[in-house]
Structure 1
Amino acid sequence: MSTPSGQPPQDSGDAPESTTDTAAGDNAVTDNAVTDNAVTDNAVTDNAVTDNAVTDNAVTDNAVTDNAVTDNAVTDNAVTDNAVTDNAVTDNAVTDNAVTDNAVTDNAVTDNAVTDNAVTDNAVTDNAVTDNAAEGTAADGTTAQDTGVAEGAVATSEAAEGDSLLSRAEARSGDRTQQTILQILRSDHPAIVTVLAVICAMIVGAILIVVSDTPTRDSARYFFADPGATFNAAWWAVKDAYVALFEGAIYNPSGTQTLAPLSETLVYATPLILAGLSVALAFRAGLFNIGAQGQILMSAALAGYIGFAWHLPAGIHIIVAIIGGIIGGAIWAGIAGLLKARTGAHEVITTIMLNYVAVYFINYLLAETWFQAPPFNQAVSRTVAPNAQFWHLFGSDLRVNFSFVLAIAATVFVWWLLKFGTFGFRLRAVGANQNAARTAGISTARTYIWVMVIVGALAGLAGVSQILGVANNYQVTASVDGGVGFTAITVALLGRGGAWGTFWAGLLFGALTAGSSQLQVATATPPDLVQVLQALVVLFIAAPGLIRLVFRLRKSESSGSAVLAKGWNG
């Protein structure tokens, strides 16, 4: 094989067949497709391919596409009237070649040395040219011997053209990103359906606000005489209601504590997230945990008792109280799991009945002097010791406390368990098809028991967040659960049984709950509107086909929801 002057032949790995100083004449090479080939470490030098069947056929006026050409020396060749498209040309030395009347489009040219070449009448479009050295190059008839101004003009022109090409490449990349985003927004992805369900709920809520607003109804009596007054009254009613909801849940610029609404949102959201994770995890195993209320009550009772009756050093006391609350919830839910595994008792029945047992057990404790706070005339427990109380994250003026950090940690744990954990795989397998899981060697009975134990532990954390974080005077009462147990079912449904979906759903419901008080104070809108909004959100989430029909969404592969609880025969 002949090589360029002064250059040693390059090693090509396996010894390929070599062709040296060969003239290929009167051959017809026609209509061949050369695609996705790697040509590496070859030296092609001083070959003349002219006026025969190789020229004007397969070599000339052909499309060479999607090839990788790397580390080659191409010298003294004539390349004419070819279309070179979508190729990656990297680390090549191109010297003393004449490149004329070619279209070079959408190529990435990087780290190449281009020296003493004549480039004439070529169209170079939408290419990315990076880190190349161009020396002594003549463009449009200007020779390398021309000095000073010509070289400066060529360099300036090439730099400007390079900037233009990079701008076009960036624009095309931005267009592709925009198209991808639009495709996601137009599909029935679960996140898109959830957001649209919330928007639909807000729209229906606005209609209910208008209907229930007295000034709007009064203006509607004279609608045909002055329709503008009716629309104006309706606008202000809706605006004031939603602004009050926002200021009560997120940010109040006119208040003395502008971040207090956000703090309240996190306070209300924390037990909802934890209890929602409890219900969602049971859903993924094919179980329906209705007993979050009882698990929260038992957890709060045990954590509260440790908090006020045990005298432990600071730091250790709160840890022991947290562990006690987790154990209380886990044991209470584990009873339902054990009954499910051993006797086949349906978890809906057992958890509901355990709720009643927990309520009456708390009432019994609150009547006992060793548990009740003196002077023993109120149904409240003794106060949890200060070193067993959660510390505030942003000062004592804001109620948000360390329990929100526990909620984030629990969300990460559930996400990891379902995504990567071995037990999470068994859990999902049993939830999808318990017969197939049993055939695969998975013990469904053991899985049910451990799922309910973990579920109860998560609900127990919700009880801990209540009694050690925000409970009135840090005392156990019969209503210490705050109705979280049943609202958590709605949160889990809104989150579609996923960890992070449940987390964001808990934040949304926490914001609605926190904003309801401001809604009642600042407007004439009844606070029951918040519960209506929550119900509407769940209604639209439960009917994804309606959302898909109204917004003309395309059905996507990710539109399927997570595995939920089975029916009575599941």
Structure 2
Amino acid sequence: MSKRFKSILTPIIAVLLGIIVGTIIMLVSGYNPVAAFTALWNGAFGEVYYIGEVVRQFTPYILAGLAVAFAFRVGLFNIGVEGQFLVGWLAAVWVGVAFDLPRVIHLPLAILAAIVAGALWAFIPGLLKARFRVHEVIVTIMMNYVALHVSNYLIRNVITNHGDNSGPIHKSATLRSPWLESITDYSRLHWGILLAIISCFIMWFLLERTTRGFELRSVGFNQHAAQYAGMNVNKNIILSMVISGAFAGLAGAMEGLGTFEYAAVKGGFSGVGFDGIAVALLGGNTALGVFFSAILFGVLKVGALNMPLEAGVPNELVDIIIALIVFFVASSYFIRVFLDRISKKEVK
């Protein structure tokens, strides 16, 4: 059994184990798992509207997953994707509200503002890591809370006059399309999915097909060896965090310019950035893996909304299944040991 095949099979087994244990929990709790999963399927694929919502849901998951995965491939753990996501959302909406420009200028400018905002927010922990060796996990966690409260302050005191809602962005800055809405029975599907797919290609191409990507991965594997080979370790640490933050900021633009088309004061985190960690783990920190992992999360999140209505099963059970999947992915060492034993028996 090849190493590549094992890396593909491991997350699949983790998903199956999560579903199996989730099914057992349903049975013990007195729910019908067949009815629950049927309701979940119908809630995700039963109507064209639901399909549109699934695609809309997993679009920011792809980008948040790429943000986590990119940093991890370079040896960094970016827990601050949620904060970078929030500042990207706010920056995109601010440009969408403050300016009234032709669409060909306004929309790219709003998207660029989100990317720059996320990149700058990630630059801070990247700089602290590179210059002072401050652990990025601690800094990025704290930056999440700073982003949440700074965003709320700016919405109340800069974008609005003590209001809790920025108001809708100008139509020239929206990612939505009347054509997409019409073919999906007026779901909130928008063109952001194309940007997410392009971002997957960019991450793959940058890491696997460029000299800079080789340097970034080398720093992730062994900083001392990379430095001995003449690579600028500090520069690559900062660059990797900036690129990771750019993906997260773009994910925020998907919500600000596509799903909601406004920014509002939040009482807590959106959860997209934290879900991005699970998406990246399940996707094996590869661009293609993140893409398919995000699809699974989108299906589960949207389909779960139908479970209480059709099967009388609380949709929190889907969160339990997702948590179990992440647990089995995190403990994938045991899965790999199991696969190694199977492959050895096949050789004999």
TM-score after normalising by structure 2: 0.92
In the other structure, the counterpart of 1:234 is none
Whether the 8 Å CA contact 1:294–1:359 is kept in 2: the answer is: yes
Match of residue 37, structure 2, among 225, 234, 242: 242
In the other structure, the counterpart of 1:332 is 121
Q: 1:104-135 CA distances to partner (integer Å, 9 max, x unpaired)?
A: xxxxxxxxxxxxxxxxxxxxxxxxxxxxxxxx
Q: CA deviation at 1:367?
A: 2.0
Q: 1:398-452 CA distances to partner (integer Å, 9 max, x unpaired)?
A: 2211111110000010011111011110011000000000000000000011111
In the other structure, the counterpart of 1:494 is 282
Structure 1 SS opposite 2:159: coil
What is the CA–CA distance in structure 2 between the aligned matches of 1:295 and 1:202, rounded to whole Å?
Answer: 31
Whether the 8 Å CA contact 1:384–1:475 is kept in 2: the answer is: no
- AA paired with 1:389? T
What is the CA–CA distance in structure 2 between the aligned matches of 1:420 and 1:295, rounded to whole Å?
Answer: 27
Identical aligned residues as a percent: 40
Whether the 8 Å CA contact 1:282–1:455 is kept in 2: the answer is: yes
Give 1:100-249 correspondences, 5 Å limit.
189-213=6-30, 237-249=32-44
Q: CA deviation at 1:187?
A: 9.0
Q: 1:256-278 CA distances to partner (integer Å, 9 max, x unpaired)?
A: xx212221111111111101100
Is 1:526 equivalent to 2:321 in the alignment?
no
Match of residue 390, structure 1, among 165, 175, 180: 175
What is the CA–CA distance in structure 1 between the aligned matches of 2:248 and 2:120, rounded to whole Å?
Answer: 11
Q: CA deviation at 1:504?
A: 0.8
- How many pairs were matched up? 340
- AA paired with 1:305? W
Match of residue 416, structure 1, among 178, 192, 205: 205
Structure 1 SS opposite 2:103: coil
Q: Which moved more, 1:200-209 or 1:459-468?
A: 200-209
Greater relative contact order structure (CA < 8 Å, 6+ sep): 2
Q: 1:476-509 CA distances to partner (integer Å, 9 max, x unpaired)?
A: 4326962101111111111111111111111111
Gaps of 5+ in 1: 1-182, 215-236, 253-257, 556-570
Q: CA deviation at 1:320?
A: 0.5
In the other structure, the counterpart of 1:466 is 255
Whether the 8 Å CA contact 1:290–1:348 is kept in 2: the answer is: yes
Is 1:381 equivalent to 2:169 in the alignment?
no
What is the CA–CA distance in structure 1 between the aligned matches of 2:49 and 2:268, rounded to whole Å?
Answer: 22
- AA paired with 2:53? E
Q: 1:32-77 CA distances to partner (integer Å, 9 max, x unpaired)?
A: xxxxxxxxxxxxxxxxxxxxxxxxxxxxxxxxxxxxxxxxxxxxxx
Give 1:312-391 correspondences, 5 Å limit.
312-368=101-157, 370-372=158-160, 376=162, 378-391=163-176
- AA paired with 1:380? N
Give 1:53-64 correspondences, 5 Å limit.
none
Structure 2 SS opposite 1:200: helix
Larger radius of gyration: 1
TM-score after normalising by structure 1: 0.57
- AA paired with 1:243? T
Q: CA deviation at 1:543?
A: 2.5
Structure 2 SS opposite 1:474: coil
Whether the 8 Å CA contact 1:371–1:382 is kept in 2: the answer is: no
What is the CA–CA distance in structure 2 between the aligned matches of 1:366 and 1:487, rounded to whole Å?
Answer: 25
Is 1:542 equivalent to 2:321 in the alignment?
no
Structure 2 SS opposite 1:395: helix
What is the CA–CA distance in structure 1 between the aligned matches of 2:273 and 2:93, rounded to whole Å?
Answer: 18
Distance 1:187 1:274, change over 3 A: closer
Gaps of 5+ in 2: none
What is the CA–CA distance in structure 2 between the aligned matches of 1:445 and 1:454, rounded to whole Å?
Answer: 14
Higher helix fraction: Structure 1 or Structure 2?
Answer: 2
In the other structure, the counterpart of 2:214 is 425
Q: CA deviation at 1:319?
A: 0.7
- AA paired with 1:536? L
Higher strand fraction: Structure 1 or Structure 2?
Answer: 1
Whether the 8 Å CA contact 2:155–2:164 is kept in 1: the answer is: yes
- AA paired with 1:538? V
What is the CA–CA distance in structure 1 between the aligned matches of 2:5 and 2:110, rounded to whole Å?
Answer: 44
Please give the root-mean-square deviation of Cα atoms over the aligned residues, in Å.
2.1
Whether the 8 Å CA contact 1:297–1:480 is kept in 2: the answer is: no
Whether the 8 Å CA contact 1:188–1:548 is kept in 2: the answer is: no
What is the CA–CA distance in structure 2 between the aligned matches of 1:540 and 1:441, rounded to whole Å?
Answer: 39
Whether the 8 Å CA contact 1:284–1:431 is kept in 2: the answer is: yes
Q: CA deviation at 1:282?
A: 0.4
In the other structure, the counterpart of 1:115 is none
What is the CA–CA distance in structure 2 between the aligned matches of 1:464 and 1:437, rounded to whole Å?
Answer: 35
Distance 1:341 1:550, change over 3 A: closer
Q: CA deviation at 1:515?
A: 0.8
Q: CA deviation at 1:188?
A: 5.8
Whether the 8 Å CA contact 2:207–2:213 is kept in 1: the answer is: yes
What is the CA–CA distance in structure 2 between the aligned matches of 1:365 and 1:187, rounded to whole Å?
Answer: 47
Q: CA deviation at 1:242?
A: 0.5
Is 1:447 equivalent to 2:236 in the alignment?
yes
Whether the 8 Å CA contact 1:296–1:481 is kept in 2: the answer is: no
Whether the 8 Å CA contact 1:213–1:525 is kept in 2: the answer is: no
Q: 1:250-309 CA distances to partner (integer Å, 9 max, x unpaired)?
A: x21xxxxx2122211111111111011000000011101011111111111111111001
Whether the 8 Å CA contact 1:548–1:554 is kept in 2: the answer is: no
What is the CA–CA distance in structure 2 between the aligned matches of 1:523 and 1:489, rounded to whole Å?
Answer: 30
What is the CA–CA distance in structure 1 between the aligned matches of 2:269 and 2:188, rounded to whole Å?
Answer: 17
Structure 1 SS opposite 2:181: coil
